Structure formats: C-alpha cells, structure tokens
Structure 1
Amino acid sequence: MNDPPFDTGASDSKPRELRWCFLTITEWAIVLVILTAMLLSTSAWQRHRHTCAICRLERTDVTSPLGQLTSTFRETSCSRWYAKHVAATHEHLWAANPTSQNVDALGVARGAGDNENRPGRVVWRLTPDEQIEIYQHFPQPLEAKRLFVSLTTPKVMRERNDFLILEKLRAWSNNGFAGRWEDQQAEKTNDKK
C-alpha cells in the first residue's frame, strides 16, 4: 500500500528529456558535430592533372572515394599550335603530373603527394612554349613527336634516360638550337666512348 492506485498529479521536479530514436537531442547534436569534423578533416576528393606528351593539352580529373567525378580540359599554346601546324587530331598520350592534390569537403587543400615514377614525368619540366620551340627546330615535327612519345616509355624511364634527353634538349635550346638534334645525339654517343 505504498503506491497510490491513482495519479495524484504530482510531477518530478526534473523535466523530461526529448528523445528522438534512442538518443537525446543533445546527444544527436554532439554526434553531428563529430561527424562534421571528421568529414571536413578527411579528403573528399583528389585532383589529378595530366598533359598530353605530344600536344600539351591539359586534363584535370577530379575523383572521390566513389570514383571519377569529372574531367576538364584546358588548351595550351602548344596544343593550339600543334593542331594548326602538325596534326589537327591525334590520340592523346596522357602524362600524369607527378603531384596530386587532396581536397576536403570545403575545397581546402589538405595535402599533396609526389610520385616521380609516373610515365612522362619530364614532360612536365618543359613549358608548352618550350615544346613549341623544340617542334619548330626539327626538320619534321613528327620526329619531335616521336621524341616526346619516347619520354613516356618504361625503358627510357627505368634507365633515367628521360632526364638525359631533357638535359640535351635544354642544352640545345641554350645554344640557340645550333645544329640538328641528331648532332646532339651523336655527341652523346661520342661522349660515352
């Protein structure tokens, strides 16, 4: 007989907590703040830049953990020149930029990574205008095209000959493109003997 059989109208001095599902509103707010902080602190997507080793058209891919989102293309002085003077169309040979960028959900860069072993790594060390000059100093631009394609091959990269070719191209450019490219290659062969 301790409990009255009917409601006496007396209430607790403590107000009832509002609950939604199994958590209180305050607990849901804390969970929401934690999840938002986690989302903003992790990479939501990555930007990967590529350039065509032949014409230097640029492509930027945006990827997320769910896959590729978009690709955007940007013409360069070399891509316009190549289309006008060498070939209007060609199959692009994409050389990935050795640097990738991680971006959070707010679009803030949260980090970058380098991979110097990507095919075409030295192409990024030439500006599009420098590549135009090289094309212009070959008797046949398709010979220069073959040279730029060779910079992306695994064998040339494995032996680090891509950096040697780049040094020769820069030396040839610094000398005002004196002589022919074949002469530069002959000097390289004579230097090894």
Structure 2
Amino acid sequence: MTAGGSASQWGQEQREAARRGLWRRVLAVLGLSPAARRADARAAACDAGAVGEQRTAQLLRPLEAAGWTVLHDRAIPGARRANADHVLISPGARPFLVDSKLWSVRYPVHAAGGTLWHGQAGRKQADRSQSVRSVLYETGLVGQALGVPVQPVIAVHNASVADGGFMVQGVPVVPAGRLVEVLLGNDWPRNWVAAAALARRARVVLPPYLG
C-alpha cells in the first residue's frame, strides 16, 4: 500500500458505515444524522493524515536514491490498529520511524513541561501528548520486531515548529522541510551489509498495512 493509503481507506469506511441503509442515507443527506457528522469528522482527520503521509513520501524520495530503504504504511506486529507511517533503514543500518502530522498553519507547535502543544502559549492550545505516546508505542513494537532500537521522528507539515525543531520525551519534532536534513545528520557510518540485512528483515516483519 502506498503512503497514506490505509488512512484514506479507513476514512472512507467510516463515511460508508454511517450511511449504510436507506434511512441512514436519507438522514445524512438532510443533515440530521449525528452519526454521519461524527464519521465525516473522523474521515476528514484521516484524509488530512493521508495527505501528510503522501507529502512526507515525496520528501523522502531522494533518500532512496542515496541508498536508504524507505517503507510506507507498514503493519506493526502486536499493534491492533496502529500502523507505521514510514520506516527507514539508513546506509549505516540505523532504523527510523517517521510519523507524519498535517496540522493547522494557524497555530505553532512547541513543547512546554515535557508536553507537546499545538497552539499559542497563553491561549487555547491542543495537547498533542497522544501523538508522542503513540509514536513511542509504535517505535517500541517496531524495535522488538527488528531486534534493534528504532529512532522515532515526528515530521510536521503546515504548522510552524518552534526553534526549527526540538525534542520532547526523546522524540525529535521537526518541520517536514527539515526532515531529510535531520535524518542524514543522525545516520551512522555506512555499513551496507548490515543495512541490507536489516532492510530484508524489515520487509518481512513489517508487511504492508491492510487495515
């Protein structure tokens, strides 16, 4: 499955489930179905997530030409619905898990007190702690599957990121435009044999996510 494919698919399933049956479709068309409105909101979030993943995939393409293995939308052993947006194996045999976020350009992303925030300090803010917990959870399971520690990275599209990037709970949070720079700067000396072996294992233990 391509980048963002499972997110788009899940969003469409949400829309269809809320309109299954003649009466549900009629209520949805008339704007009288709370279930359809909730499903549409969830689906919109899925669509935004899919766009973020597709944009990240575009940014990562140059790395493939440089010898990196880049896998999109992968299943995670031990996780029920969670999937890995992007799993990368560097030429130095270092694995990364990149989590794409497409957040509103109206509000900045920053950290305070060990918490990830999306909003203006001192005003209404969205607590994005769940995003950090999720990527740490996914990274732990991917690391178990690969048999080596995995470095998580959150790549943010649209919203500005404080200081051009920062760390929160051991997770780098970076503007999507700096993602490739950050990945290249955190690779190890090249080890093509180990990198190839780890990439083969990743393809086997992290198959495409099918929902």
TM-score normalized with structure 2 length = 0.27
Greater length-normalized contact order (CA 8 Å, ≥ 6 residues apart): 2
Give the TM-score, by structure 1 length.
0.29
Larger Rg belongs to: 1
